[in-house]
């Protein structure tokens, strides 16, 4: 047994005790080496139920929040998922164990490069990444559109409501999970597209996320991100 296994088992037990009982999600979290996605200096925190900084003002969400968001998506292995906010790739890697295909966008190029390498290291073949403005959704590439998406998950907080371009890329019957609100008043919100212009909306729980911002960031890599 590796030194991380007892910590991982303890985390899975914590998630179960907190009410997460979806075996598929628990198995996916158990199969993903979270320590691979965080700075080496914080590897001892990999299996604590906390958010971990990854540089450039960004974090990997705490496992309970990741699990809660994914559970709300009701993902099956037939679904095509769009993720906004790749970070170093942890959540996308969990999603890859559950969905048919994952498309993920990161606006910070240094983090995007790390995520790309992480997916290669772990031989994740059903995730496609892009460094771009996530608020605009997945763009047409060579004239080909991947939209609509069955599920959309956003790892940054919209100020008042999801961007229209993201809502437009959600299929009829599709589900989006996104934090909404300003600092100190964010709530995790679930949108289900019932018809072309009709959504059912459910507030789930208070959260704390970095803000959802436009454009590709102009970053200088930090020591933390280089070593992630």
Map out the domains of the chain with their CATH numbers.
61-221 (3.40.50.150)
pTM assigned to the model = 0.94
Whole-number pLDDT of residue 228: 44
Which runs of consecutive H residues, i.e. helices, occur in 57-105? 63-73, 90-96
Whole-number pLDDT of residue 221: 59
Whole-number pLDDT of residue 222: 55
Query: What are the catalytic residues?
Result: 61
Q: Which residue has the tokens 């994914």?
A: 70
Q: How many CB atoms lie within 10 A of CB 211?
A: 14
Whole-number pLDDT of residue 227: 45
- pLDDT block averages, 10 residues each, the chain of length 228: 82 95 96 95 93 94 97 97 98 98 98 98 97 96 92 97 97 98 94 96 96 88 50
- d(CA 30, CA 190) in angstroms, rounded, equals 25
Whole-number pLDDT of residue 3: 62
């Amino acid at each position: 047994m590796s030194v991380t296994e007892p910590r991982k088992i303890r985390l899975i037990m914590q998630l179960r005790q907190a009410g997460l009982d979806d075996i598929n999600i628990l198995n996916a979290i158990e199969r993903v080496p979270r320590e691979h996605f965080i700075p080496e200096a914080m590897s001892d925190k990999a299996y604590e139920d906390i958010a971990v900084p990854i540089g450039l003002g960004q974090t990997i969400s705490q496992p309970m929040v990741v699990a809660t968001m994914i559970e709300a998506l009701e993902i099956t292995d037939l679904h095509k998922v769009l993720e906004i906010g790749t970070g170093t790739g942890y959540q996308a890697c969990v999603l890859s164990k559950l969905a048919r295909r994952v498309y993920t966008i990161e606006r910070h190029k240094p983090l995007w490069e790390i995520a790309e390498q992480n997916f290669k290291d772990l031989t994740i073949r059903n995730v496609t990444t892009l460094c771009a403005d996530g608020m605009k959704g997945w763009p047409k590439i060579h004239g080909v559109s991947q939209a609509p998406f069955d599920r959309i998950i956003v790892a940054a907080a919209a100020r008042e409501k999801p961007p229209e371009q993201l809502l437009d890329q959600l299929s009829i019957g599709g589900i989006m999970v996104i934090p909404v609100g300003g600092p100190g008043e964010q709530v995790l919100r679930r949108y289900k597209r019932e018809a072309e212009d009709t959504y059912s909306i459910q507030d789930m729980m208070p959260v704390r996320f970095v803000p959802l911002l436009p454009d590709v960031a102009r970053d200088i890599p930090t020591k933390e991100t280089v070593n992630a």
